[in-house]
Structures are given as structure tokens and as C-alpha cells.
């Protein structure tokens, strides 16, 4: 059985979330309170600076204003129930000193998840066999890896699983279409009947490959290389996370996969409509909510970096005007008889890991579920 990482209770988010959104030197952002705010606020169990800012500021993603107004809060990841925060004065000028470092990675990793984007997966070393010819292997068991001819005994490697292939169709007449294809154990696409005809009409050479999503499932240490005619290296698993199967890829372990010190800020540019959107929801593929990780269709080449905050919007429907055409089938209704309905606000997402064409964000708050295909806009967008 795979060992699943359990959700940490919401009340533990005060130290984690505040650490991930720490403000850097020189930050000074004018901000206004909501009407009727109190002069002080007593921190309650389950609070985060993001949540507190959402009650009293018009833009909760700029919560560093509250930290800035409370110099007694030396470490924003160390706020506790009963702490008194002043809300009487804001924008007191630029802050000094270096950013406060994040909490230990192990405490945050269950939320952030170790997802990575690769341009290709076929050339990566892969698991070709398991100890005692098992179907799955877990911590304490050996797996055999092909493609690590130069690996040394004692060297650590992470085991990654190809999960999704992201592509984009650039349509000049309207808006981009994003595709996500499930991958099998060989890293090959499976047939997606929902998009079968669209994919057939717009073959691969009409798409831009955004990348292959790889999920870290385990890790281990090399105990024996390719010696004595053996054509696979032995990797002893030592991570309790997930089971390993044939076809999983193997890469060197990264010492620090996440940058845990961010300044929350809006995107550097306005994207064409439907260019920036939610590609998928980690572990769910389609739908999620606050504290879930989502893949986004923009990355470093688009000016996205860690700390970028977007608002998430459900794309407005093109509804048939049933007053004008009450009985006609929707398939036979022209554009003149349809009405573009407004987009609907869903929540906010903050980027925590960036690749060239794709980035990953943590959904910070929401009034409705976040789904694949939702639009990303400036965090202060009103429509």
C-alpha cells in the first residue's frame, strides 16, 4: 500500500503560510483598510496573515502591510493565538533587514508537493525491475535502474513518475487551447476520448509542448552499480511516500527543491485572454480548493517568478439567448443569438515553483472550487 501524506490540520497553517509569504527589504505598498476595521486584532487559532488581511484590507495578498505595521512580530511564521496585532497604522515606510527564512522544508512539503516539468522524459534513467519481481516496491526494498552506468555506491537519487503532458494550441482568431494528456507507465500518452477529435484535427505539429509533469514518488541510495555483467544499478528505497513501479524515472536528488522566501506581487504583464489558465489540480487533475497545488500555463519565459499572485476566474459561458431563440438546438444557434456571460471570481493562487513554460501555485483562498481551464488575472481584477 502506498503511504499517503495526510493533510495537516488547518490550525497548523499559521506558521507555514506566513513563512512562505515573507516580505523582503524595501517593500512599501500603499494600502487601505476596509471600512469599520478595529484598531487591534487578537490572533485566533487557525489564523494566517493572509486570512487576517482578507478581513481588514481590500487586498489580502498584500498582507505584508500588517506585518510591517507590527514591528514586534519579528518572525511572521511565529504568530500564535492570543498575539495582539495593531491595525491602527499602515504604510509606515520601507522595511529593513534581510527576509526571514522559511520554516523547515519537511513541514511545508506535504502541501507544496514535489512536482517538476521536463521537456522530455525518454532519455531519463528508469526503473526496469523490482526486487523479487514484485509489482510494486516500498521503503527498504530494492529497485533496478537502467541508464545509471556511471552511478557510484552511496549516491542518492529521486524516483519520479510521469503523470501528464501539457501542450498549447495557439489560435490567433480566438484564444489558446490547453491540453493535458495522461501518461502511462512508459511515459506515453493514453487516449483521451474527451479531446480525441480536437487532437485529431490539430495534430502534434500544431501544438507547443509546455512540458511533461513528473511527480516525486520516492528516493533511495545506490548500493551496487553495473558490475560483473549486470546491466542495471541497484537503488535501495528509503522514502515512505509512495510505491515505486516499473517505468518510474530516476534523477539526482535536489538538495533544496523549493524557494521558501517570497514577496507576494502581481504578474509583470497582462496576458491575452485564456493564455494564462489553470492546467490541472495536483492529485485531482480537474478540481480543487484552498491549500491545493495547481499547475499554471505560464512560466519564467512569461515573467512569472516565485511569489506571483493571480486571481482565479471561472470563464463566463456563451449562453443561448432563449428569449430570441426559445426552441432552436444550441448546436444550430449562431453567435448573434448567444450572450457572453461574465467571468466569475473563484479565489487567489500564489506561485511557489517556476519552470520555463509552466509554474506551480498554491491556492490561497476561494469562494468556489478551482478547476482546470479557469482564467488567471491580476490579483485585483474586478472582471
256, pLDDT greater than 70 = no
Tell me which H or E stretch contains 201. helix 196-201
State whether 284 and 248 are in the same domain: no
Predicted confidence at residue 148, as pLDDT, reads 93
CATH of the domain at 78: 3.10.350.10
The reply to whether 120 and 248 lie within a common domain is yes
Number of domains the chain contains = 3
Residue 173 placed within a domain? yes
Evaluate if residue 150 carries a pLDDT over 70: yes
Quick check: is 126 in a domain?
A: yes
One domain for residues 188 and 244: yes
Phi/psi-derived region of residue 206, left when phi > 0, alpha when psi is between -120 and 50, beta in every other case: alpha
Same domain, 69 and 166: no
Predicted pLDDT of residue 101? 35
The domain boundary, picked from 236, 252, 268, lies at 252
107 found inside a domain: no
The C-alpha cell 515505486 sits at 244
> Position of cell 522514502?
239
Name the residue with higher pLDDT: 67 or 270.
270
Question: What is the DSSP-derived secondary structure letter of residue 32?
Answer: -
Domain boundary among 46, 72, 101: 101
143 and 246 together in one domain: yes
Q: Is residue 267 part of a domain?
A: no
- Which stretch of 77-81, 98-102, 238-242, 368-372 has the lowest confidence by average pLDDT? 98-102
Q: What is the arithmetic mean of pLDDT over 322-339?
A: 80
Residue 4 reports pLDDT greater than 90: no
Predicted confidence band of residue 74 (pLDDT cuts 50, 70, 90): low
Longest dimension (CA), the chain: 80
288 by Cβ neighbours in 10 Å (0-12 / 13-18 / 19+) ranks as: buried
Residue with the bigger pLDDT between 18 and 165: it is 165
pLDDT at 158: 95
Per-residue pLDDT reduced to its tens digit, 197-212: 455 455 444 578 899 9
Residue 42 lies in a domain: yes
Residue where the block lists cell 495522461? 182
Determine the average pLDDT of the residues in 300-316: 93
Q: What is the pLDDT of residues 48-72, one digit of tens each?
A: 667 777 777 767 666 666 666 677 7
119 and 248 share one domain: yes
Asked if residue 124 and residue 19 are part of one domain, the reply reads: no
Q: Which of 101, 124, 144 is the last residue of a domain?
A: 101
Mapped onto helix, strand or coil, the DSSP state of residue 57 is: strand
Q: Which of 162-166, 209-213, 328-332 has the lowest mean pLDDT?
A: 328-332
- pTM across the whole model: 0.72
3-state secondary structure of 283: coil
Which distant-in-sequence residues (6+ apart) come within 8 Å of 144 by Cβ?
A: 127, 128, 129, 130, 131, 232, 233, 234, 235
Q: Could you tell me if 235 and 120 lie in one domain?
A: yes
85 and 63 in contact (C-beta within 8 Å)?
no
pLDDT given at position 380: 87
Instruction: Report, as an integer, the average pLDDT of 67-78.
Output: 68
Confidence at residue 350, expressed as pLDDT on a 0 to 100 scale: 87
311 lies in which domain range? 278-377
| pLDDT at 75 exceeding the cut of 80 | no
Same domain? For 93 and 16 the reply is yes
**CATH number assigned to the domain comprising residue 344:** 2.40.30
CB 286 within 8 A of CB 280: yes
**pLDDT reported for residue 297:** 95
Inside any domain, residue 266:
no
Please report the pLDDT score of residue 107 as a whole number. Answer: 43
- Which pLDDT does position 110 carry in this prediction? 59
Most confident of 12-16, 154-158, 348-352: 154-158
Task: Classify residue 36 by burial, with Cβ atoms within 10 Å: 0-12, 13-18, 19+.
Answer: exposed
Residue 219 lies in a domain: yes
Weakest-pLDDT range from 20-29, 210-219, 295-304, 308-317: 20-29
Q: Same domain, yes or no, for 156 and 239?
A: yes
Residue 383 lies in a domain: no
Which residue did the predictor score with more confidence, 1 or 67?
67
Question: Between β-strands 249-252 and 309-314, what pairing exists: parallel, antiparallel or unpaired?
Answer: unpaired
Share of the chain above pLDDT 90, in %: 36
pLDDT in tens, 88-146: 654 433 333 333 333 334 444 555 678 899 999 999 999 999 999 999 999 999 999 99
**Tell me, what's the pLDDT at 178?**
77
The per-residue pLDDT for 52 is 75
Checking phi first, is residue 147 left (phi over 0); if not, alpha (psi -120 to 50) or beta?
left
- CA dist., res. 43 & res. 77, Å (int): 13
Cell of 176: 489558446
Q: Please report the pLDDT score of residue 320 as a whole number.
A: 87
Residues 186 and 225 in one domain: yes
User: Would you state the pLDDT for residue 369?
Assistant: 94
Q: How many helices, marked H, and strands, marked E, lie in the chain?
A: 5, 20
Does the pLDDT of residue 295 top 90, yes or no?
Answer: yes
Query: Looking at the predicted structure, is the pLDDT value of residue 18 above 70?
Result: no
Cα Rg of the chain (Å, integer): 24
Question: What's the pLDDT score for residue 377?
Answer: 95
Residues 292 and 353 in one domain: yes
What's the mean per-residue pLDDT of the chain? 77
Amino acid at each position: 500500500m502506498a503511504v499517503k501524506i495526510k493533510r495537516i490540520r488547518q490550525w497548523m497553517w499559521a506558521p507555514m503560510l506566513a513563512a512562505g509569504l515573507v516580505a523582503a527589504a524595501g517593500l512599501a505598498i500603499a494600502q487601505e483598510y476596509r471600512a469599520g476595521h478595529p484598531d487591534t486584532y487578537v490572533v485566533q487559532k487557525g489564523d494566517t496573515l493572509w486570512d487576517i488581511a482578507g478581513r481588514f484590507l481590500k487586498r489580502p495578498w498584500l498582507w505584508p502591510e500588517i506585518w510591517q505595521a507590527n514591528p514586534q512580530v519579528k518572525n511572521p511564521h511565529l504568530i500564535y493565538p492570543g498575539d495582539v496585532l495593531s491595525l491602527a497604522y499602515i504604510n509606515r515606510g520601507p522595511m529593513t533587514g534581510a527576509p526571514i527564512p522559511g520554516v523547515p522544508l519537511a513541514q511545508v512539503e506535504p502541501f507544496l508537493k514535489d512536482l517538476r516539468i521536463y521537456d522530455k522524459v525518454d532519455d531519463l534513467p528508469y526503473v526496469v525491475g523490482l526486487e523479487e519481481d514484485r509489482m510494486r516496491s516500498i521503503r527498504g526494498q530494492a529497485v533496478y535502474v537502467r541508464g545509471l552506468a556511471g552511478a557510484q555506491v552511496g549516491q542518492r537519487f529521486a524516483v519520479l513518475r510521469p503523470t501528464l503532458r501539457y501542450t498549447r494550441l495557439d489560435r490567433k482568431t480566438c484564444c489558446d487551447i490547453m491540453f493535458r494528456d495522461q501518461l502511462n507507465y512508459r511515459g506515453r500518452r493514453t487516449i483521451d476520448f474527451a479531446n480525441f477529435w480536437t487532437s485529431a484535427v490539430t495534430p502534434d505539429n500544431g501544438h507547443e509542448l509546455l512540458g511533461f509533469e513528473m511527480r516525486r514518488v520516492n528516493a533511495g541510495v545506490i548500493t551496487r552499480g553495473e558490475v560483473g555483467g549486470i546491466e542495471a544499478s541497484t537503488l535501495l528505497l528509503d522514502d515512505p511516500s509512495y510505491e515505486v513501479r516499473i517505468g518510474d524515472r530516476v534523477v539526482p536528488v535536489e538538495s533544496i527543491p523549493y524557494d521558501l522566501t517570497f514577496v507576494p506581487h502581481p504578474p509583470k504583464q497582462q496576458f491575452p485572454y485564456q493564455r494564462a489558465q489553470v492546467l490541472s489540480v495536483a492529485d485531482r487533475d480537474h478540481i480543487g480548493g484552498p491549500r491545493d497545488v495547481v499547475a499554471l500555463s505560464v512560466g519564467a519565459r512569461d515573467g512569472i517568478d516565485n511569489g506571483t499572485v493571480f486571481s482565479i476566474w471561472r470563464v463566463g459561458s456563451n449562453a443561448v439567448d432563449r428569449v430570441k431563440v426559445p426552441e432552436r438546438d444550441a448546436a444550430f444557434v449562431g453567435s448573434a443569438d448567444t450572450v457572453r456571460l461574465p467571468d466569475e471570481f473563484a479565489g487567489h493562487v500564489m506561485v511557489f515553483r517556476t519552470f520555463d513554460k509552466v509554474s506551480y501555485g498554491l491556492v490561497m483562498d476561494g469562494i468556489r472550487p478551482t478547476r482546470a481551464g479557469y482564467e488567471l488575472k491580476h490579483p485585483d481584477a474586478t472582471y
